[in-house]
Amino acid sequence: MCCLGCGAWARSRFSFDDIPELHSKVAIVTGASSGIGLVTARELARKGCHVILACRSREKTLGVIHDMVKSLLPTATQVEFMQVDLMDLSSVHAFVEAFRQRHLPLHMLINNAGVMAPPFSLSVDGIESQFATNHVGHHALTIGLLPVLEASAPSRVVMVSSRAHVRAPGIDFANMNNPHSYFSWNWYSQSKLANILFARELSRQLEVRNVMNVYINVVHPGVVRTSTTTSHQHWLATLVMSMFELAIDDGAKTQLYVATSDDIVTHNWHGEYFVPIARLGTCDTLGHNAVLGRRLWAFTEALIRESTTSDVHDDCDCLPTATLLPPPCA
C-alpha cells in the first residue's frame, strides 16, 4: 500500500453489496449532508436502516434527504434530520437530550463531521474551531449517547480520523487556543490524533467495566476529492493528488465496513485503526500512547465542564471519569 493509503493502490475488498440488511437498526451520521458522510447515510438507508443525519444546516440537509428518499424508495423510508452544531456544546447537549427523549435504540454512531485547516477562530465555547468540531463536539456527543449505545448493544462507534494524524507531534494543550501559535495544518493533524486517542481511551474504559459489546474504532477514509480538500489545494497539488485520490463512494466504504461488517464482532476489534479500503491498519505510535490518551480525556472533560453546558453528562453515570482516569501527566 502507498504511504497515503489511497488511490490506485487501495484495492477494494468491500462493496456496498456487502452491507447487511439493516431494517431493525438505527444510525446517526454527523456531517451527512455532503461528501462521504452523505454516501454513508445513503448506503445505510438503501439497506433499510433508520438513518438520522446530524448536521448544522436544516435547509441543506432536508434537500439532501428529499433527493435521497426519492432515489431509494421503497427501501429508504426512515431518513431524517436532527440539528446539531459541533462547534457549540449547548447544541450537542440539546441533540443528545432530544434523541434520548425519543426512546429509540442506537446501533451505529458514525462521527464523520469535520473541518480542515480553516483560519483561526474560536467556537462558541472558546475552543479552537478544529479541535472543537473534530474532537470535543464528538467526545461530548458520544459520551452523551453512550447509555443508549450500551442499551442497544451490540453497537458501534466509528471515529473518522485521517492519515494526517502522523504529522502531529502531540497535543499542544498549552497553546490550543493561542492564535499566535496556530498553524492550521498542525492543528488539523492534532485533532485527528485526538480522534484516535479518544477511541482507544473510551475502549479502555469500557473494558474496565467489562462492556465488550460496544465496538469503538477509527478509520482513515483515504484522500477523497471533496469541496473541503480541493479548496485547500494549489493546482499542482491537485494534479499530483489526483494520482492518489479515491472516488467519493470508495472513500465511504471503510467507515461503512467498520459500522456494519460482522468482521468487527468476529475479530473482537476495539480501538483499532482501519485504512482504505476496509483494511486493518496501524496508526502512528502516538495513537497508542495511553498516558497521552488519558491526559487528553481529562483535558477535554475539563473543557466541557467549563462550558456553559456543563450538564451534558450530568445524567450519565456510565463513565465515572474521576475513578477511571489518573491525574494528567506533564
Q: What is the CATH number of the domain that holds 165?
A: 3.40.50.720
Query: Is residue 42 domain-resident?
Result: yes
Active site residues: 188, 192
Tens digit of pLDDT for each residue in 184-220? 999 999 999 999 999 999 999 999 999 999 999 999 9
- Residue 245 corresponds to which cell in the numbers above? 485520490
- Secondary structure (3-state) at 278: coil
CB neighbour list of residue 326: distance below 8 Å, 6 or more residues apart: 294
Which amino acid, one-letter code, is at 295?
Answer: R
Tens digit of pLDDT for each residue in 139-169? 999 999 999 999 999 999 999 999 999 999 9
Tens digit of pLDDT for each residue in 36-93? 999 999 999 999 999 999 999 999 999 999 999 999 988 887 999 999 999 999 999 9
Query: Is residue 16 domain-resident?
Result: no
Report which of residues 26 and 235 the model is more confident about. Answer: 26
Query: Is residue 8 domain-resident?
Result: no
Query: Is residue 329 domain-resident?
Result: no
Instruction: For 211-268, give the DSSP string.
Output: --SEEEEEE----B--HHHHTT--HHHHHHHTTTPBPHHHHHHHHHHHHH-THHHHTT
- pLDDT reading at 328 higher than 90: no
Query: Is residue 133 domain-resident?
Result: yes
Query: Is residue 96 domain-resident?
Result: yes
Q: Give residue 267's domain range.
A: 22-324
Query: Is residue 10 domain-resident?
Result: no
Rounded Cα gap, residues 31 and 249, in angstroms: 16
Closest C-alpha among 93, 111, 138, 139 to residue 27: 111
> Biggest alpha carbon distance in the chain?
56
Taking the whole predicted model, whether its pTM rises above 0.75 is answered as: yes
Q: For residue 144, count other CB atoms closer than 10 A to its CB.
A: 22
Number of domains in the chain: 1
Query: Is residue 249 domain-resident?
Result: yes
